[in-house]
Structure 1
């Protein structure tokens, strides 16, 4: 079965025209002749849990308004839903992943990046089957984490600057429009990761409950909790369920356009001459975007790719880094941060939303840091996907926990963070 999405001549024309407008800074109409194109990946396999990532190559003849000819070879990165596997497609449809990301790239990010442009990859084309972006790999961007999903201080510092730019652009845009983003673009920020009031049969309820079954079984294997095991097992799922409340649009605090999917691989870094220190970063995969207090994003990005020991040393400093970046971005647009995110509110929300970090770490990482062979089995077939997201998740994760040191150490650290600080000490 073919996994390549064919593009119509009109789609190719629109893609080339937008590429020309964004990269040549010209609104002059051009004529494009696409002599050939190739749309494929190196391995032609599913490359993400919910989407296929491929490369699009075009050989183009561009004719300007003055008749000048230009021959170009264009490179793009594409993302599409996995339409040939029914179990994937049903999940994506009910989850609302791809439709939301199309709204984000068509409607929201083009407006926000007019203020601070280097936040996300440029998008050139979007329809219900395909998103086409600039190919960040051609600009030497790459992921910064190893198999354990951890990032060091320099990578987090760089990532926080990009996140602050995204959040600040949201504030600037609302000031200029005089309206809230969730009023302007409701479909782009509807809460689809943790929607309130959903039934037990909804895919997000099923996914959340299946994840909690995994964590309960893992807790039973941790010797330090045997004395309080009954209490912990009773209280733990209730703490986890707080994520449904904390990710909603707030009636009390500042809300901003939020990425909401901030595990390590959803950011790409560009490095300097010697390749060690990241110089800038781009956020990718906006399929869970929401409108919420900035601290929800911030606690997620500072917890998922870090250890508890790292946070004891650096959390306060990294919070200060973010607030300084926000201050500078807003000041560049003649706005005072105290009018939008006062320092007192910032640290009040840091305390209130701290639990979001370990909850999101567990919900993301029990999947994203699975041993490579298990992850490949999950993503490469209908049975693997169904097994993990339904019947066999507990068994697969228990096996990984018993046999894989990285998985065991990382999940244990996350469980201990939540149990020690929010179950036994009940700091909520």
Structure 2
């Protein structure tokens, strides 16, 4: 089938009409037969969906003037192997509930006092058959994802400040939204049970489809072990003695523990995958300095400590030199934004800055180094893995990603590119320093050995 026709087939006219009604406030919409559909993203941005930009022409009944409108629509992926992931992780249900149930609560809590750092969702279907989410076309308003070179080098300070201020505002709105829910009905997970099971970090039960994320983590750690053999000092010794392999057995249970709601602590509905590819920035006149941002892609939203989002962003979207120099200041930017937003909404402050930093730099740093070690070598491949042309993202590359974590590509790049190699080594050394805080003397002190 022609790729363009295949994309167009994913757009149902009845959904498009409903989206236009919501956008315009008009009820009598007559849709033109001419609908232009093109890919809006490529590569990893579309692993669990096909993201397209839809241009449509319409008239209002009784009016001869024709109008043109554009949306970004997320629909089911084209490959069957991708559909298996969508079904097992229930990503459209999760994002659909977020936009149709949680965002209206945020808007109610805000009452126009704080702008939501999200695209407007005009229509969402998440019935498992016709899954589609129609959103504001941020590209038409000057927003774009950061250039691909940041995947290797990490974001600069200006981008990080804007991104973390936005995250602080989002978390404050999530906290305020939850306080509108009737307490007698229980927690947010009981009111919205579709959010209760984590989308990616869970143990597969008998009869359930293969858990893709766990396999990807395991393949990523195989790469860590192979590279550690070549790194002098603690990494090489830890691998050679078998201590590193032993400690890594506790990695998956640790991830599950860290994303669980914190007993007696602050928990909110978080983004779940906050990193540079899920943020769109609008730039100033120089085209370089970001002045505004919007947060996109809520397919793995999870209910947990907000530190998980912050630490995920810092360890996937930045590199260690940036963290060593600016991490504390950036956490202040995040926290001050959250407090400023909550104050504007007349809401209490749920956690002090001191306690938040204790949680972030203590318990949740482990989450950061894990996701960095498991995924950053892959993310840093850039166009070696994620081509600029979406049509070059073949079925074989998708399968390589989910089955092997692209380990062969990573090791080839590691061997041939000194710049890539040095950046990977810096991140992996930090990972091993954190999971073996007392070196080889005692694995019992490893945060991965806590039951």
TM-score, normalized by the shorter chain, greater than 0.5: yes
Counterparts of 1:71 and 1:137, CA distance in 2: 22
Match of 1:142 in 2: 144
Tell me what 1:357 maps to: 368
1:191 equivalent in structure 2: 198
Correspondence for 1:123: 121
Q: In the alignment, is the contact (CA less than 8 A) between 2:369 and 2:434 conserved in 1? A: no
Structure 1 unmatched runs, 5+ = 22-28
Give the CA deviation at 1:397.
Answer: 2.2
Q: How many residues align?
A: 415
What SS does structure 2 have at the residue aligned with 1:82?
A: coil
CA separation of 1:395 and 1:287: change in aligned 2, threshold 3 A: same
Aligned-partner SS, 1:126: strand
Deviation at 1:424, TM superposition (A): 4.1
* Cα displacement string for residues 58-88 of structure 1 (whole angstroms, at most 9, x for unaligned residues): 111124xxx66653210111222213x2222
Q: 1:169 aligns with which of 162, 170, 173?
A: 173
1:18 CA displacement: 0.7
Give SS of 1:218's match.
helix
CA distance in 1, matches of 2:341, 2:404: 47
From 15, 33, 40, the counterpart of 1:36? 33
Distance 2:382 2:287 in 1: 27
Match of 1:281 among 267, 271, 293: 293
For residues 223-244 of structure 1, the C-alpha deviation after alignment (integer angstroms, 9 at most, x for no partner) is 3332332222332443464112
Q: How far is the alpha carbon of 1:145 from its aligned partner?
A: 4.5
Say whether the 8 Å CA contact 1:236–1:423 is kept in structure 2. Answer: no
5 Å-filtered alignment, 1:235-384, equals 235-239=247-251, 241-337=253-349, 340-350=350-360, 351-376=362-387, 380-384=393-397
Q: How does 1:15-30 map to 2 (within 5 A)?
A: 15-21=19-25, 29-30=26-27
Q: Secondary structure, in 3 states, of the residue corresponding to 1:251?
A: coil
Is 2:215 aligned against 1:206?
yes
TM-score normalised by structure 2 residue count = 0.84
Match of 1:71 among 66, 73, 76: 66
- Looking at structure 2, the residues matched to 343 and 369 of structure 1 have their Cα atoms a distance apart, in angstroms, of 32
- Say whether residues 1:56 and 2:60 are aligned partners: no
Please name the residue that 2:84 is paired with.
90
Q: Does 1:412 align with 2:420?
A: no
- More displaced, 49-58 or 219-228? 219-228
Q: Are 2:162 and 1:158 aligned?
A: yes
The CA deviation string for residues 271-291 of structure 1, in whole angstroms up to 9 with x for no partner, is 223323212111111111000
TM-score by length of 1: 0.88
Contact 2:40 2:52 in 1 (8 A): no
Q: Alignment partner of 1:341: what SS?
A: coil
Q: How big is the shift at 1:379?
A: 7.3
Distance 1:347 1:88 in 2: 38
Q: Which stretch shows the higher mean deviation, 93-102 or 35-44?
A: 35-44
